[in-house]
Amino acid sequence: MLNIGLLGFGVVGQGVYHQVCSRSDLAIRRILVRRSREEIEALAARDIREIVEDDSIHIVVEVMGGLHPAYEYICAALEAGKHVVTANKAVISAYYRELTELAVRKGVALRCTAAAGGGIPWLTTLERCRRMDTIHAIRGIMNGTTNYILDAMHRQGADFDAVLHKAQALGYAEADPAADIDGDDIRRKLVISANIAFGCVVPEEAVPTFGIRTISAADVAAFQAAGFACKLLGSARLTEQGMAARVEPTLVSEHSLEASVPENYNLISYDAALLGRQSFFGQGAGRQPTAANVVQDCLDILQGATGFYIRSMENVTVDNSGVMQRYYVRTPSRDAWLDGLAEETMGPGIITRPVSAGEMLTWARKQAGQDSSTFIAALDA
């Protein structure tokens, strides 16, 4: 049996607690909490040292979220020779090299399957694929909040603000939804996925994003009339320049697999040399699905897993200049550069001729600073 020190007792933490309590091969030894909780008072710890200095604890499970003090707590656990399992995409994305190298140096496991895909066993699938195949590209719907919003707008014809408020009422969206609707959440998951898929280290800030906070019902109506659905996608692939990686709204065929993904579900795919394209669909968040992947990571450690998913840590440059795509662009203040790209109209916007994704995303970020209503979406090749 392996004993667990649990950091955090929120939504996911409670899911982990109840799933572990039903097992005979894992046990919760201590739980780090800020406030008293009657049902777990006998296990409560108020200081991280009560967990990292406890020799009877083998695995530290971090489900607090945020960068700090999560990063310091994970480092302390690894330094103490304890395995670590986390669902924290922010800390893994921001401190990828530091944490993975520390785990390898200490000879312990660092697992974060729930950090990208929630309940989908996505990262462990990438690990297995890399054993005997070469992954060329990854792409997917990696955020349930934005997929719920876009799916509802397409199905109901509703405007963005109304659907966002409903998503918040249902608990799909946070009170401050910026990380979701601006693409930061997907970027973190994409960075972790790309690092494992390609054996590299990508700085989070190097991946450009454009979110969905400015999409309108008129945009969606135009997309539907043309046979498209809009999805917020993260994508990365290896190129001669290094890696092309970005997060952007994308118009996919209404008959595509991505277009059929409903509500708050995720769909993530890879393209590999031998296996071709394989896609994985499921709950990208939620108490029980996310907790299940956390517990699965603990079981992998029980069966002897050490280190991280991969050992390769090559630095790579993100360069989207070689990705040529057509774009839908809507802005009331068009400039000469955009006018020179315009090919046709679609509803309230225009469709451009093929343009470098790097160039368009750079222009769009600058344009959004001048005109906050600007919206763009790539047309899927």
Give the residue numbers annotated as catalytic, written as ranges.
189
DSSP string, 74-121: HHHHHHTT-EEEE--HHHHHHTHHHHHHHHHHHT-BEE-GGGTTTTS-
Residues shown for the chain: 381
3-state secondary structure of 25: coil
> What is the C-alpha separation between 179 and 194, in angstroms, rounded?
19
Buried b (16+ CB within 10 A) or exposed e, 122-152: bbbbbbebbeeeebebbbbbbbbbbbbbbbb
> What is the C-alpha separation between 202 and 356, in angstroms, rounded?
20
How many other CB atoms are there within 10 angstroms of residue 238's CB atom? 18
Across the beta sheet with 228-239, the strand order is 276-283, 265-272, 135-141, 228-239, 242-253, 375-379, 327-330, 349-352, 342-346
Contact by Cβ (8 Å): 47, 31: no
> What is the C-alpha separation between 237 and 245, in angstroms, rounded?
7
* DSSP H stretches of helix in the chain: 11-21, 49-52, 70-79, 89-94, 96-106, 122-130, 144-156, 160-170, 178-181, 184-198, 217-225, 287-302, 336-341, 357-370
> What is the C-alpha separation between 89 and 193, in angstroms, rounded?
10
Helix (H) or strand (E) holding 314: strand 314-315
Cis amide leading into 69 (omega within 30): yes
> What is the C-alpha separation between 54 and 31, in angstroms, rounded?
12
